[in-house]
Amino acid sequence: MAVDAAARPVAPQGAGGRHADLLLHHADPHLLVVEKPAGLLAVPGRGEDKQDCLSARVQAIHPDALVVHRLDMATSGLVVFARSPAVQRLLGDAFAERAVHKEYEAVASGLPAGGGADADGWHTIDLPLGADWYRRPMQRVDADAGKPSLTRWRTLSRDPAAGTTRVRLSPVTGRTHQLRVHLQAIGHPILGDALYAPAAVQAAAPRLLLHAALLAFVHPVTGAALQVRSAVPF
C-alpha cells in the first residue's frame, strides 16, 4: 500500500496556539507516520526551552503515540510512531534489522563524478563512522574505531551554473549524522549544513537541504506492504 498525496494537516488539541499544524501522512490503530519540519527536535531535549518537539506535538493529538526512531533537528521528513508498546518493539526491531527502506533527498555542493555507479545509477559510500569526542555532537570518519556505515546515493539532477547536485540517498545503516558526514567525506557537503559544510556552503541555503522522503516497510500487525512518500520542500 503506497501513501502519497493523502497527507493532511492536523491541528494539535489544547496546544494554546503554541504549535504549528502537523502533517499526518498515515494513521491506523497501530501506527502513525508524521512529517517533521526542519528545525524541530524529534524528542525533548535538556532544558525547559527544548520541550517543544515532534513527539510532544503528536502526543497532544494521539496520547498513545510512542517514539520509534528520530531525525536530526535540522532534517525534515517522515517519522513513524507506534501506538502500543508491542508495535513499538516490532517497529524498533524492523529498523534495527534494516527491514525498513529509507530514502532521503538532498542538495549537495559540487558536481560529483558519474563513474563507479551500478546499473541503476547508485553509488556506495562505505566509510566507518564514530563520535568526534572533541567536537560533540559531531561525528567523523574513523577507520580505527568507527562503526561500519554504508550509504547508497544517486544523482537526480545537476545544476552546473550553481555548482550543486540534487541526490537521492538511501542509508543502509543508521548512524548519527551518517548522510551528512558521508557526503562531506566525499567532498560534497549538503547545502545549509551548519555542522559539516564550510561557511560558503552553509550560507547557500536557509536550512539543511536534507529531507526524509520515503519510508517502506511491512506493517508489523497486518503484514501489508506500507510505503509512504513525502513531497520534498526545497
Q: Which residue has the cell 501506538?
A: 83
What is the rounded distance in angstroms from the CA atom of residue 180 to the CA atom of residue 19? 28
Q: What is d(CA 193, CA 75) in angstroms, rounded to the nearest whole number?
A: 10
The residue ranges of DSSP E strands in 57-132, in sequence order, are 66-67, 76-82, 101-109, 123-126, 129-131
- Residue 218 pairs in a beta bridge with 225
- 89's CB contacts (< 8 A; 6+ apart) are none
Query: What's the grid cell of residue 149?
Result: 556505515
Half-sphere exposure of 26 (CA within 13 A, CB side): 23
Q: Which of 21, 28, 49, 72 is catalytic?
A: 72
119-143 per-residue burial string, b: 16 or more CB within 10 A, e: under 16 = eeeebebebbbbbbeeeeeebbbee
Annotated active-site residue 4? The verdict is no
Catalytic residues: 72
